[in-house]
């Protein structure tokens, strides 16, 4: 295991199941949407769009959307889903200088992407470049405590780890990192953190996945952060 999972290899299987998966549909997505400002008539970047659920939601709610993903297979799936209602392009969310000008967006949304990126400093600096002064960044990622107890040398050391995702029938590789590895590069890139959320799972999730609900009540799977780019 030397790198995070390549989504090109699993894009079709992922897209076929993700919209019905309770942890995403009834836990991650509602929590992320709660942190969003009004998106109507706003320029929004969906950074790491996957098969396009968020890009579609943003477009349906009046945003002008650019959706970016490094996986060409995901870009094709998102483009099919959006049917021209958003600009969907392949690109590395850590460096979009060849694709997008600075000060181009009011909002950047990034759902469950950052745990696949080794160094977040460049990514947050790039997102700061893309946002207008006062622009908002909302992202979700794996919670820092996720699998921390299993690791050596421990919580404070970021590690590339591997986990079996039964719903995909796939071993997935991603970075588990301490909270400071999210917050420190974020503030260094010129953001002020407005909210950190660790949501309680909903009754709707309990009805759909009782075991998952109980687990999430004890140990959060994801963490959600809203930050704002400081005005110049």
Query: DSSP per residue over 153-175, as a string?
Result: S-TTS-EEEEEEETTTTEEEEEE
Q: How confident is the model at residue 149 (pLDDT cuts 50, 70, 90)?
A: low
CATH number of the domain to which 201 belongs: 3.40.50.150
Kindly state whether residue 176 falls inside one of the protein's structural domains. no
Q: Count up the domains in the chain and report the number.
A: 1
Determine the 3-state secondary structure of 39 from DSSP. coil
SS (HEC) of 47-115:
ECCCCCHHHHHHHHCCCEEEEEECCHHHHHHHHHHHCCCCEEEECECCECCCCCCCCCEEEEEEECCHH
Asked if residue 1 has pLDDT above 50, the reply is no
Kindly state whether residue 172 falls inside one of the protein's structural domains. no
Kindly state whether residue 1 falls inside one of the protein's structural domains. no
Kindly state whether residue 164 falls inside one of the protein's structural domains. no
Helix axis angle for 72-82 and 11-18, nearest 10°, is 40
Asked if residue 44 has pLDDT above 70, the reply is yes
Write out the residue range of the structural domain in which residue 86 sits: 7-146+182-229
32-36, 158-162, 164-168: segment of lowest average pLDDT: 164-168
Kindly state whether residue 45 falls inside one of the protein's structural domains. yes
Count Cβ atoms within 10 A of the Cβ of residue 150 and give its class: 0-12 exposed, 13-18 middle, 19 or more buried: exposed
pLDDT at 156: 86
Q: Which residues of 39-62 are buried (b: 16+ CB within 10 A; e: fewer)?
A: beebbbbbbbbbbbbbbbbbbeee
Kindly state whether residue 167 falls inside one of the protein's structural domains. no
Kindly state whether residue 159 falls inside one of the protein's structural domains. no
Kindly state whether residue 89 falls inside one of the protein's structural domains. yes
Q: How confident is the model at residue 3 (pLDDT cuts 50, 70, 90)?
A: low
**First vs last C-alpha separation in the chain:** 42
């Amino acid at each position: 295991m030397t790198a995070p999972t390549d989504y090109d290899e699993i894009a079709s299987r992922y897209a076929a199941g993700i919209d019905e998966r309770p942890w995403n549909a009834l836990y991650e997505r509602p929590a992320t949407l709660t942190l969003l400002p009004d998106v109507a008539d706003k320029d929004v970047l969906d950074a790491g769009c996957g098969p396009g659920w968020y890009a579609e939601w943003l477009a349906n709610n009046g945003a002008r959307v650019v959706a970016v993903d490094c996986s060409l297979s995901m870009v094709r799936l998102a483009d099919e889903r959006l049917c021209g209602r958003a600009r969907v392009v392949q690109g590395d969310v850590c460096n979009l200088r060849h694709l997008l000008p600075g000060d181009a967006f009011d909002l950047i949304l990034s759902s469950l992407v950052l745990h696949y990126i080794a160094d977040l400093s460049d990514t947050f600096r790039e997102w700061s470049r893309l946002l207008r002064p006062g622009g908002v960044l909302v992202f979700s990622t794996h919670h820092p405590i996720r699998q921390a107890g299993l690791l050596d040398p421990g919580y404070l050391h970021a590690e590339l780890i591997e986990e079996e995702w039964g719903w995909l029938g796939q071993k997935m590789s991603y970075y588990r990192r301490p909270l400071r590895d999210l917050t420190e590069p974020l503030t260094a890139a010129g953001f002020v953190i407005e909210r950190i959320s660790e949501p309680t799972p909903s009754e709707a999730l309990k009805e759909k996945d009782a075991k998952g609900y109980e687990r999430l009540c004890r140990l959060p799977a994801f963490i959600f952060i809203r930050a704002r780019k400081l005005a110049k």
